[in-house]
Structure 1
Amino acid sequence: MIPIAKPQLDQAEIDAVSDVLRSGIIAEGQRVAQFEEAFAEYTGTDHAVAVNSGTAALHAALLAHGIGRGDEVITSSFSFIATGNSVLFTGARPVFADICADTFNLDPKLIEEKITPATKAIIPVHLYGHPADMEAIRDIAEDHDLILIEDTCQAHGAALSAKKVGSFGTGAFSFYPTKNMTTSEGGMITTNSREVAERARMIRSHGSKQRYLHEMLGYNLRMTDISAAIGLVQLGKLAEYTSAREHNAALLSKGLRAIEGIQCPIVRPGCRHVFHQYTIRIRERDALADYLKGIGIGTGIYYPIPIHRQPYYKELGYNDSLLVTEKASREVISLPVHPGVTEEDIATIVDAISNWGGLRC
């Protein structure tokens, strides 16, 4: 079986966790502080705040910027449910704009028509590891005095003109096991604002700067030193992992781009795509997924139902017509691209798709 995802863990992570366990300090402590400092340096931001999931990072980032009831936040419906739910958690309302057909990211040309007097923020999603058009989106945010929060959960190391995502606005990263790097579970907020960082630190720890003195409503969103120890090791390997993903993606594209009926991923000029997923488009998506599963090749569909079409969102009254998003949700399928995939595996994947009889123009 060639799996669609495989966390890359070895003795270094085991030793790092063992050191923490032997220390007796396993909750938030020195390792978390070290991880925050290293991650801020990696992303080119002034501050990083570790939390216990990517969802928590999005939620806390919104709260740290004062987003709340009565506010609207423009974002993408073609994402994991947490992108929309994190807005709902604050009492605000997500407003969905359509995406670009090639990168699957928010289409800047369609954002301004969604802006109302209630709009307070934009959350672009760097889907699959390709950066959104941050220069255009940042210009829109500045023109309308809107907060910019980046959903960077799939895009560790992705960049636009050498500037890493998570540094254009406030970033929210995930370290779920299948991400480009992991802490087992965890997340990180990146920002250049000291005020936002301080508020995020309070929000993650019951609204407190000082033990037993609570200045605001907060939550328990803390990362443990166990997770941070894994994260420090993984961050040191991230460049190697990213190069492997880029190499595997290039081999897949070389083998698949000549096959009629398949649209391979693109990388826009000036962008670094870190290939959290290698996602193709094909009209016969479900049939291809069944075929590949039958011969031992794992695939993933991210995402078969856009957020605005989810049952709960329908209950909330969402009935948007997002034609590009909805078409993509019927056609996308992701193929194994992670660092554990070998060149032999890629040849197997390419040969299997090339020889499949279900393709049509």
Structure 2
Amino acid sequence: MTERIRLARPDVGEAELEAVAEVFASGMLTMGAKVGEFERLLAEACGTDDAVVVSSGTAALHLAVMALGLGPGDEVIVPAYTFPATANAVELCGASAVLVDVDADTFNVDIARVADAVGPRTRAVLAVHLFGRPLEWEELQTAVPQEVVLVEDAAGALGATYRGTPCGALGLMGCLSFHPRKIVTTGEGGAVTTDEPELADAIRRLRHHGIAPRGDFDIAEPGLNYRLSDILCAIAIPQMQRLEQLLAARERVAGWYTERLEHLVLTPSAAEGDRHGWQAYVVQLDRRDEALRALREEGIEAQIGTYALHHLTGYRDRGSFPGADRAFARALALPFATTMTEDECDRVAAALAHFV
């Protein structure tokens, strides 16, 4: 039987096992030294003053919206094509997610439509670097009034750069994810990056029930338990120490795919001067559903790109979004990992060629 090609495979091994064993030996399983070490490495990688680790990328988005004090009556602009967590974080705070269409080729939000969507109740934009492709940030900055806060959903963009600036350092805050399909994983985990000490302190309080990290025990406002344990931070630290190596490996695999597929399907890329984060390798083709079924039948794990939010019950009747419709119908995530071989890319490309 032909060996199955996984959709994703975390690049973890002996170094991560040793780091976890060190935590077990210390007896400090949560809120210990590994949390701070991981946060320092993240802040350094993103070029920010602070990084606050939390229990998931969704938690990072939720706490970022909470830290801004957004709630009923406020509107936050969200791409119509993104993982639902982006919009969920807004709605869970009582604010309204205003969906805006995307560029069907890049998957990122259509910035001209962002400008059109800004209204008197618009407080923020959750700007997604989808699948690791940096959003055109300077265009976004000029498209919205200065008082509208820009927050990055950089869940798949750790290591990506926009014109030389790391994703995670472009907005007032950046939200990261460490799900197993991401370049650095903790299994489940996330982080908020920022240069604003008041926001970093707010995130630290809110992730820990609202308890101030310094001073006497007090809760000025209710918080949540969104902490990330030392065990999970320990898994990530060796990966952070070789982040450049991991990204280079993903770039190599992406290059193999592009060489084989660019004349057959629409392949992903970054704009000139930017560096893609390569959270996933997502192509587009007309016979997507047929291709998806056939790849799976051949032992090749594949998946749709992500979701057009207005196709979901909770976000219906919020407008027409043809770009999101097109992306939702055509996007196909191929197997993608640092450990993939050229032979595996050949096999995937050959299987996909039948549908073009």
TM-score normalised per structure 1: 0.94
Task: Give, as a single letter, the amino acid of the residue that structure 2 aligns with 1:39.
Answer: L
Residue in 1 aligned with 2:51?
48
* 2:324 equivalent to 1:322: no
Task: Give, as a single letter, the amino acid of the residue that structure 1 aligns with 2:267.
Answer: C
- 1:176-195 correspondence to structure 2 within 5 Å: 176-195=179-198
Paired residue secondary structure (2:193)? strand
- Distance in 2 (alpha carbons) for counterparts of 1:267 and 1:116: 30
Paired residue secondary structure (1:124)? strand
- 1:304-315 correspondence to structure 2 within 5 Å: 305-314=307-316
Paired residue secondary structure (2:263)? coil
- Distance in 2 (alpha carbons) for counterparts of 1:4 and 1:17: 26
Residue in 2 aligned with 1:238?
243
Residue in 2 aligned with 1:349?
348
RMSD: 1.2
Task: Give, as a single letter, the amino acid of the residue that structure 2 aligns with 1:329.
Answer: F
Residue in 1 aligned with 2:72?
69
Paired residue secondary structure (2:242)? helix
Does the 8 Å CA contact 1:138/1:168 hold for their aligned counterparts? no
Q: Deviations over 1:197-225 (max 9, x none)?
A: 11111111111114641111111111111
Residue in 2 aligned with 1:252?
257
- Distance in 2 (alpha carbons) for counterparts of 1:352 and 1:216: 55
> How far has the Cα of 1:7 moved from its partner?
1.2
Q: Deviations over 1:146-205 (max 9, x none)?
A: 111100111111111110111011100011112111011111000010111111111111
Q: Deviations over 1:66-86 (max 9, x none)?
A: 212210000112111100000
Residue in 2 aligned with 1:168?
170
Residue in 1 aligned with 2:41?
38
Query: Please, which runs of 5 or more residues in structure 2 have no aligned partner?
Result: none
- Distance in 1 (alpha carbons) for counterparts of 2:348 and 2:270: 21
Paired residue secondary structure (2:266)? coil
> How far has the Cα of 1:138 moved from its partner?
2.1
Residue in 2 aligned with 1:225?
230
Q: Deviations over 1:223-277 (max 9, x none)?
A: 1111111111111122111111111111111111122xx2111321111112111
Residue in 2 aligned with 1:268?
271
* 2:119 equivalent to 1:116: yes
Residue in 1 aligned with 2:203?
200
- Distance in 1 (alpha carbons) for counterparts of 2:73 and 2:270: 37
- Distance in 2 (alpha carbons) for counterparts of 1:137 and 1:192: 19
**Percent identity of paired positions between Structure 1 and Structure 2:** 35
Does the 8 Å CA contact 2:285/2:331 hold for their aligned counterparts? yes
Change beyond 3 A, Cα 1:341–1:211: farther
Does the 8 Å CA contact 1:309/1:319 hold for their aligned counterparts? no
- Distance in 2 (alpha carbons) for counterparts of 1:240 and 1:349: 24
Residue in 2 aligned with 1:340?
339
Paired residue secondary structure (1:148)? strand
* 2:250 equivalent to 1:215: no
Does the 8 Å CA contact 2:134/2:270 hold for their aligned counterparts? no
- Distance in 2 (alpha carbons) for counterparts of 1:164 and 1:7: 22
Task: Give, as a single letter, the amino acid of the residue that structure 2 aligns with 1:156.
Answer: L
Paired residue secondary structure (1:149)? strand
* 2:104 equivalent to 1:105: no
- Distance in 1 (alpha carbons) for counterparts of 2:151 and 2:219: 26
Does the 8 Å CA contact 1:108/1:136 hold for their aligned counterparts? yes
Paired residue secondary structure (2:314)? helix
Does the 8 Å CA contact 2:99/2:318 hold for their aligned counterparts? no
* 2:5 equivalent to 1:2: yes
Task: Give, as a single letter, the amino acid of the residue that structure 2 aligns with 1:88.
Answer: E
TM-score normalised per structure 2: 0.95
**Which residue of 87, 95, 107 maps to 1:84?**
87
**Which residue of 149, 152, 177 maps to 2:151?**
149
- Distance in 2 (alpha carbons) for counterparts of 1:312 and 1:160: 33
> How far has the Cα of 1:351 moved from its partner?
2.2
Does the 8 Å CA contact 1:77/1:97 hold for their aligned counterparts? yes
Task: Give, as a single letter, the amino acid of the residue that structure 2 aligns with 1:129.
Answer: G
Does the 8 Å CA contact 1:161/1:271 hold for their aligned counterparts? yes
Q: Deviations over 1:287-338 (max 9, x none)?
A: 01111111111111122x4112211223xxx331000101110011011221
Residue in 2 aligned with 1:299?
302
Paired residue secondary structure (1:208)? coil
* 2:52 equivalent to 1:24: no
